């Protein structure tokens, strides 16, 4: 993995809102196929970081480079076109369409066919949409109304949509929030498999330490807008500062993590 090229490089990224420094001088790199977790207390600046990476929020200073290209200050749809897929903490899908149509819309947009009045959407790129759904094990749900899906299935659909633009980088904001523990593990395994196969870099935020410690290759710890630690799961878990600020005594996750690992 160390030989893979740098996919994303963030240099001294900062954001302040009216005098409040939400993010201060955050720098890190991410390689293709690598899974990087961003953790920290609520309000540490994780979401702000995410929003800056995908263009939802403008940074106050600093640079974001995707495959050598400067994307600082680009709009979300421009960043998306450069190959960044995103899933949201609260799933964002199109509830009045079928599962397949959800993916088809993303494909239409990727192929710049949105103003094509003559095409019929329900028949557009059916095969490719089907492949994407197969990839996230949703092939059997293609014709279902998206509004009827269970929460875990919605998360997988969101992943399929996020993969429609053949992304090089996936940004996942609390991908497993609100899911049952087993579903969490399945979703993260799926994500990891796709990331390795397609050499996609994944950056995710997460509060469930079991997911983080099990699936992240590397972890960044953010506190009050500053990176306070970076390293392998083991290094981060042992870091006394991270324990004091964030992880605590391990009463509410450690044991569970061990169980999950042995299961």
Partner 1 sequence: MAFYVVQFLTGLASAASLFLVASGLSIIFGVTRIVNFAHGAFYMLGAYAAYTLTERLSGAFGFWAGILGAALIVAAVGVLVEMILLRRIYHVPELFQLLATFGLTLMVEDLVVLIWGPSDLLGRRAPGFKGAVDFFGQNIPTYDLFLIVLGPIVLAALWLMFQRTRWGVLVRAATQDRDMVAALGVNQKWLFTSVFALGVFLAAFGGALQIPRDAVNHAMDLRIIVDVFVVVVIGGLGSIVGAFVAAVLVSELNAFGILIFPKISIILVFLVMAVVLIVRPWGLFGKPEAAARRTPGLTLNPWRPLTTQERMLALAGLILALAVPLVAGNYALTVGSEIAIFVIFAASLHFLMSVGGLASFGHAAYFGLGAYGVAFLAKLAGLPMLLCLLLGPLLGVLGAAVFGFFAVQLSGVYFAMLTLAFAQIVWSVAFQWVELTGGDNGILGVWPEKWAASPSHFYCLSIGIAALAVAALRVLVFSPFGFALRANRDSPLRSEAVGIDGKRIQWTAFVIAGGIAGVAGALFAYLKGSVFPDSLGISLSVDALVMVLLGGVDTVSGAVVGAIIYKALSIWLVSQTDLSKLVLGGVIILIVVAFPKGVVGVLETIRNRRRSHSKDSSLLRSQIESAE
Partner 2 sequence: MKLSVEALNSYYGPAHILFDVALDVGDGEVVALLGRNGAGKSTTFRSIVGLVAQRSGRIVFEGRDVSDQPTHAIASRGLGYVPEERRIFTDLTVDENLEVGRQPARPNAPQWTREKLFSLFPNLAEMRGRTGGRMSGGEQQMLTIARTLMGNPSLVLLDEPSEGLAPRIVEQMVEAILTMKREGLSIMVSEQNLHFTRLICDRAYIIERGRICFSGTMSDLDARPDIRDAHLAL
CA-to-CA distance for 20 and 183, rounded, in angstroms?
37
What residue 122 binds from partner 2, partner 1, none (CB within 5 to 8 A, per partner kind)?
partner 1
What residue 260 binds from partner 2, partner 1, none (CB within 5 to 8 A, per partner kind)?
partner 2
For residue 8, what are the β-bridge partners?
30, 66
140 binding partner 1? (CB under 8 A): no
Residues 204-263 that bind partner 2 (CB under 8 A): 207, 209, 244-253, 255-256, 259-260
What residue 247 binds from partner 1, partner 2, none (CB within 5 to 8 A, per partner kind)?
partner 2
CA-to-CA distance for 181 and 189, rounded, in angstroms?
12
DSSP 245: I
Of the residues 43, 140, 178, 250, which one makes contact with partner 1 according to CB under 8 A:
178
CA-to-CA distance for 7 and 65, rounded, in angstroms?
8
Cβ neighbours of residue 255 closer than 8 Å, sequence gap 6 or more: none
The CA R_g of the chain, rounded to the nearest whole Å, is 19
Residues 3-32 that bind partner 2 (CB under 8 A): 20
Of the residues 57, 71, 104, 239, which one makes contact with partner 1 according to CB under 8 A:
104
Picking from 216, 225, 181, 199, the residue whose alpha carbon sits closest to that of residue 25 is: 225
CA-to-CA distance for 205 and 39, rounded, in angstroms?
6
Taking the least distance from each CB to partner 2, the nearer of 89 and 121 is 89
CA-to-CA distance for 37 and 104, rounded, in angstroms?
30
- Asked if 23 and 13 count as a contact pair (C-beta separation under 8 A), the reply is yes
109: its two tokens: 């947009």
Taking the least distance from each CB to partner 1, the nearer of 61 and 113 is 113
145 binding partner 2? (CB under 8 A): no
CA angle 96, 99, 103 (to 5 degrees): 105
What residue 113 binds from partner 2, partner 1, none (CB within 5 to 8 A, per partner kind)?
partner 1
Cβ neighbours of residue 33 closer than 8 Å, sequence gap 6 or more: 1, 4, 195, 196, 199, 200, 201
Residues 192-251 that bind partner 1 (CB under 8 A): none
147 binding partner 1? (CB under 8 A): yes
Of the residues 181, 190, 192, 231, which one makes contact with partner 2 according to CB under 8 A:
181
Of the residues 32, 33, 40, 201, which one makes contact with partner 2 according to CB under 8 A:
40
Per the document, the length of the chain is 263
93 binding partner 1? (CB under 8 A): yes
Binding site for partner 1 (CB under 8 A): 54, 76-77, 80-81, 86, 88, 91-98, 101, 104-106, 108-110, 113-122, 124, 145-151, 154, 161-162, 164-165, 178
Binding site for partner 2 (CB under 8 A): 20, 40-43, 150-151, 174, 177-183, 207, 209, 244-253, 255-256, 259-260
């Amino acid at each position: 993995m160390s030989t893979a090229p740098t996919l994303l490089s963030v240099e001294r990224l900062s954001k302040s809102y009216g005098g409040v420094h939400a993010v201060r001088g955050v720098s890190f790199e991410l390689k293709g196929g690598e899974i990087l977790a961003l953790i920290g207390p609520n309000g540490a600046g994780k979401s702000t970081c995410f929003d800056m990476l995908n263009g939802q929020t403008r940074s106050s200073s600093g640079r974001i480079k995707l495959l050598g290209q400067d994307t600082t200050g680009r709009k979300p749809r421009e960043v998306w076109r450069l190959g960044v897929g995103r899933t949201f903490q609260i799933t964002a899908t199109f509830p009045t369409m079928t599962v397949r149509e959800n993916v088809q819309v993303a494909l239409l947009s990727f192929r710049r066919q949105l103003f094509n009045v003559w095409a019929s959407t329900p028949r557009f790129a059916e095969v490719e949409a089907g492949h994407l759904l197969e990839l996230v094990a949703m092939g059997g749900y293609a014709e279902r109304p998206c509004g009827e899906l269970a929460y875990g299935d919605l998360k997988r659909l969101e992943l399929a949509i996020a993969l429609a633009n053949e992304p090089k980088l996936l940004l996942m904001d609390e991908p497993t929030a609100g899911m049952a523990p087993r579903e969490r593990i399945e979703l993260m395994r799926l994500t990891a498999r796709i990331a390795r196969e397609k050499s996609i870099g994944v950056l995710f935020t997460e509060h469930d330490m079991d997911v983080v410690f099990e699936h992240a290759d590397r972890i960044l710890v953010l506190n009050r807008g500053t990176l306070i630690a970076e390293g392998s799961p083991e290094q981060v878990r042992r870091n006394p500062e991270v324990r004091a600020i964030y992880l605590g005594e391990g009463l509410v996750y450690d044991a569970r993590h061990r169980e999950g690992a042995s299961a």
